[in-house]
């Protein structure tokens, strides 16, 4: 998925300074793969934070609005506040076990303090992002060019989920599932309602990513083999569908010179093929059959039942009704 998104981003960035854009894409790919394969906690954290640098450079260098500096500062501020406490987590493990090697730490049945469980969750949730830590995301998407938004949605947002999975042995699921269950239940439909009132197409896609990523912590707290499979499948298909929507945003902007949904009318008369592709992309994002993302949504509903049976009515509304309403408003 990372290679595919980077490959498409390369062709969308050919109009920029080719040497600089190619170097940024190479660095982003290198940081992502290093975070997938390294086995040291500090090195995981290091490459997780380094993955922020290419996105910042893309926004500052090729951002289309004067507010790009503000969005970059917002991204840095959220990262500093939420991710720097993870260094305390690293110092704690090194002082107690004299090692930061993940396979070595997995051999022990670790009694992780509750504070460190919250630090791990906070550090990686800011890049998902979960609702409440998401305010930097719409600003970054609006300021970034099309290929930057693709990298942000298809690669950077998935690194938070990868970090949570790799450090799941250091998280107290029993307490956090009961502590954050009401929080997730409260904001589950709120963020999807926010999507329905967006007039900017790019902000709509950005907020829909936030609403989709709420499924990740719910599956993470379920802590079953089925929920882990569903989490990986949801992140994979979201990493494909969200960049596809941002490509459509760029195409629509080239046709209408605007991202306002009220201006985008008569697309079926202008380009029937593009209209058909847009409908397919919306149904893919909705996880409607026969698209394979439908399987991930079914796994999501089954896995969430292990947390609470009261999740099912709201999740049915969240999974099928609100995405359809968003796509209907877009069309």
3-state secondary structure (DSSP) of residue 147 = helix
Tell me which of 67 and 232 has the higher pLDDT. Answer: 232
pLDDT of residue 208 exceeding 70: yes
Same domain, 282 and 245: yes
Mean pLDDT, to the nearest integer, of 13-41?
79
Question: pLDDT, tens digit, for every residue of 28-58?
Answer: 888 888 888 888 888 888 888 888 888 888 8
- Give the residue from 138, 171, 204 where a domain finishes: 171
Whole-number pLDDT of residue 145: 81
pLDDT of residue 320 exceeding 60: no
The number of folded domains in the chain is 2
Same domain, 3 and 29: yes
Whole-number pLDDT of residue 27: 85
Same domain, 9 and 91: yes
Tell me which of 287 and 325 has the higher pLDDT. Answer: 287
**Dihedral class, residue 51 (left if φ above 0, else alpha if ψ from -120 to 50, else beta):** alpha
Same domain, 39 and 161: yes
Mean pLDDT, to the nearest integer, of 6-23?
74
Least-confidence region, from 89-93, 129-133, 217-221, 273-277? 129-133
Same domain, 106 and 7: yes
- Give the residue from 132, 151, 171 where a domain finishes: 171
Q: Count other Cβ atoms within 10 Å, centred on residue 22.
A: 14
Give the residue ranges of DSSP H helices in 84-113. 86-97, 102-106
- Give the residue from 171, 203, 230 where a domain finishes: 171
Same domain, 62 and 130: yes
Same domain, 127 and 202: no
Whole-number pLDDT of residue 187: 59
Same domain, 194 and 157: no
Question: pLDDT, tens digit, for every residue of 127-157?
Answer: 887 777 777 877 777 777 888 888 888 888 8
Same domain, 248 and 176: yes
Same domain, 259 and 142: no
Report helix, strand and coil shares of the chain as percent, to nearest 5: 75, 0, 20
Question: pLDDT, tens digit, for every residue of 105-120?
Answer: 666 656 667 777 788 8
Same domain, 211 and 113: no
Same domain, 158 and 179: no
Mean pLDDT, to the nearest integer, of 161-181?
73
Mean pLDDT, to the nearest integer, of 311-326?
58
Q: The tokens of 52 are what?
A: 């922020």
Question: Which domain does 63 fall in, by range?
Answer: 1-171
């Amino acid at each position: 998925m990372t290679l595919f998104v980077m490959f498409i981003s390369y062709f969308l960035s050919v109009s920029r300074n080719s040497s600089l854009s190619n170097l940024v894409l190479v660095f982003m790919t290198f940081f992502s793969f290093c975070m997938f394969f390294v086995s040291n906690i500090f090195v995981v954290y290091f490459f997780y934070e380094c993955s922020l640098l290419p996105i910042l450079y893309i926004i500052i260098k090729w951002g289309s609005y004067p507010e790009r500096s503000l969005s970059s500062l917002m991204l840095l501020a959220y990262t500093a506040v939420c991710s720097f406490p993870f260094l305390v987590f690293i110092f704690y493990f090194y002082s107690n076990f004299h090692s930061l090697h993940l396979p070595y730490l997995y051999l022990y049945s670790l009694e992780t303090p509750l504070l460190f469980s919250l630090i791990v969750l906070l550090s990686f949730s800011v890049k998902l992002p979960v609702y409440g830590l998401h305010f930097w995301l719409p600003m970054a998407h609006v300021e970034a060019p099309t290929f930057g938004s693709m990298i942000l949605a298809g690669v950077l947002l998935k690194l938070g989920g990868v970090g949570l999975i790799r450090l799941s042995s250091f998280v107290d699921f029993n307490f956090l599932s009961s502590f954050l269950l009401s929080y997730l239940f409260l904001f589950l439909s709120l963020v999807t309602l926010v999507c329905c009132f967006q007039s900017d197409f790019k902000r709509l896609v950005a907020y829909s990513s936030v609403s989709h990523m709420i499924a990740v912590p719910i599956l993470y707290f379920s802590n079953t083999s089925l929920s882990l499979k569903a989490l990986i499948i949801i992140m994979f298909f979201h990493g494909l569908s969200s960049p596809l929507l941002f490509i459509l945003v760029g195409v629509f902007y080239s046709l209408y010179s605007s991202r306002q949904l009220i201006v985008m009318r008569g697309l079926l008369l202008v380009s029937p093929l593009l209209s058909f592709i847009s409908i397919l992309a919306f149904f893919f994002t909705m996880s409607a059959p026969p698209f394979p993302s439908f399987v991930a949504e079914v796994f999501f509903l089954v896995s969430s039942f292990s947390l609470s049976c009261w999740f099912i009515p709201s999740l049915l509304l969240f999974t099928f009704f609100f995405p359809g309403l968003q796509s209907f408003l877009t069309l």
